[in-house]
Structure 1
Amino acid sequence: MKYPILPAALLCAFLGLGGATAEERIDHFNGLPAETLEDAVQNFSEYNNRLAAIVAKDELTASDLATVHELTYTLENALEKINDELAALADLLEEVHVASETADAASTVEKGRAYLDTARTVIP
């Protein structure tokens, strides 16, 4: 009886390509940090452009794949910061909503300005 898939399965197991989950992967790069929302948006934009240039190619080289792998760490850092900031922004918008609903003009202005400062960092 032949097992044609066995050599491929053994190769995958040997190379570690089998069933590794995201938690089991070893991080090879740190990526650029995203300490502020401004940093995160800048890195997100720049590294998305780099990714777009690579995936626009008809064929990817091993070097292209390595570059994509490395730049995804910066994108992940940026996206994590953006997600955290947008979650806080949603809470702040709710405060604006409640302040306006309860006719609290001072809070509406204060919270509204804070909301807009952050919102305009993401989308001017």
Structure 2
Amino acid sequence: MRDYYTITELTREFDISTRTIRFYEDEGLIAPIRRGRTRLFRHSDRQLLKMILRGKRLGFSIAEIREIMGMYRTPPGEAGQLRTIIRRVSERRAELEQKRRDIEDLLSELDQAEEACLTRMAELGISPTS
């Protein structure tokens, strides 16, 4: 295991911009060591960055990610953190399932509108391709 990572190494590894890493730093989610103007990231910073990016992929806000990460450091600790993650994942899943139902409903309505138009065009003797 390495002692330190540069910002360039992390941007390449995670395929993100330096601006993204600086944003997470400004938000207090990661705290690299500074040597002059150089940021050096510990293994723990790399792991935090990995968790932040996973949280973003799951649709969590920065505030939610901060809350979950904060729980790990203070009571209720890891158990509370895990319960919160499970609750947030469940909420996010419910939101996405509702969006899927909404999209399926809209697609069905579009199919019906298209079918009605094609039927009427056939009645009028109009070709749908011209």
TM-score normalised by the shorter chain: which range applies? 0.3 to 0.5
Normalising by the residue count of structure 2, what TM-score does the alignment of the two structures yield? 0.32
Normalising by the residue count of structure 1, what TM-score does the alignment of the two structures yield? 0.33
Taking CA–CA contacts closer than 8 Å with sequence separation of 6 or more, which of the two structures ends up with the larger relative contact order?
1
- Higher gyration radius (CA): 2
